[in-house]
A = this chain, B = another copy of it.
């Protein structure tokens, strides 16, 4: 799941400090020189991608396990580098929330190692036959999954993404170029070095993991412009980062994350189910993209007081429209909602609440404000459930369950690259297969077209 991160666009990166002492540090200065250096990195990445593409599952899995072992072996080195980033962050007045995301610990490193082991245990997406047939003229035809090639990632402040995205890219047979941001520069430098050495130790190309962090903001820009050299760019982070990448990139981008998630309580929804699902959707992990942000309540539903009381009891601030405020007893505290609330992804213990008179009105509200991530209906009315499924155009549409299920792990995809809110290539939770493309293989014995 993509968590909300610092809203810092690549154009705003502050690269005046903590640039790692990479081998090429200081050797390039102009944008043209940075571009040439990033192109050279991408060309090495292309070479490495060809080797990764031909690596079988056993070899790739041994690489993932070697990385896991190296992370444990060299934990002290990682934690020391991380301490430098955290100290620099504190000195710069970085917020507590960001410092928390920036900080690695024994437990977090163990979590990364466990995730790598989980990845190693998943089937290889490469070579999977999507479809195939023998044509009337005898041609044997199959469409198979093959790696995308060179995968780039731009992210912020969370050094665990370095390991996470590298592992996903390697398992799917790709090479990866990382841009991790200045705040985590020392940590990322140590991690990339460890990853490269671990790959090399099992006979995989070290250049399958590279970074452009040493080139700062210009490096990120060059990566976004490296058309033909980068097959896909995945931004991971807050809204501003993702929007900046989407608008500025000349390479193909997979957009992830933004979730202004709605739940509609229909007239027929039971109180018990509504209370339980709202509590889970809002409070189980409020900082992630599949948490509910707006609740729409049918005006003839009777569950509102119980749901509102339960949410208040769990510490949720309710930003409610006039009709909701009028319908609730004065003992339940609310804030008046404005249009800004309908458009806000709080990612916190806040919930916008509006009253609607019909399913149509609920769908209309959702069409106006949704980011197309996840919407749910709570209902016992079959026709309404079917209409909601058909009329709501989001990556995931849920009937009578928590919105927190929009997650690759929960939906049985194994590892998750992120949650795509775009319509091309991947929509919703993205597994390893979404880091592949396909190739048509046609085999004959001399067939020509008539």
Contact = CB atoms under 8 A, between A and B. Distances in A.
Contacts of A259: none
A103 interface: no
Contacts of A54: 390-391
Copies of this chain, how many? 2
A131 to B, nearest CB: 9
A427 B443 contact: no
A241 B233 CA distance: 24
Interface string A408-450: 0011100000000011110111000000011111111111110
B424 A424 contact: yes
Nearest to A284: B449
A155 to B, nearest CB: 20
Residue among A277, A398, A429 with most chain B CB within 10 A: A398
A210 interface: no
Q: Is the interface of A mostly helix, strand, loop or mixed?
A: mixed
Contact of A397 (B148, B231, B385, B442): B442
Given A139-B405, A141-B411, A440 B400 contact: no
Contacts of A441: 389, 396-399
A250 B247 contact: yes
A315 B389 CA distance: 59
A1 to B, nearest CB: 11
Interface residues of A, number: 65
Interface of A: 50, 53-54, 133, 135, 139, 141, 143, 146, 148-149, 231-232, 247, 250, 252, 254, 272-273, 276-277, 279-281, 284, 385, 389-391, 393-402, 404-406, 410-412, 422-425, 427-429, 437-449
A449 B141 contact: no
A442 B398 contact: yes
Contacts of A279: 448
B391 A50 contact: yes
8 contacts: A50-B391, A141-B412, A232-B423, A276-B446, A395-B440, A401-B444, A424-B424, A428-B439
Contacts of A442: 396-399, 401, 405-406, 411
A396 B143 CA distance: 9
Contacts of A444: 398-401
A50 B364 CA distance: 12
- Nearest 5 A-B pairs (CB), nearest first? A401-B444, A280-B448, A423-B437, A404-B449, A425-B425
Contact of A280 (B273, B439, B449): B449
Given A401-B139, A444-B399, A428 B438 contact: yes
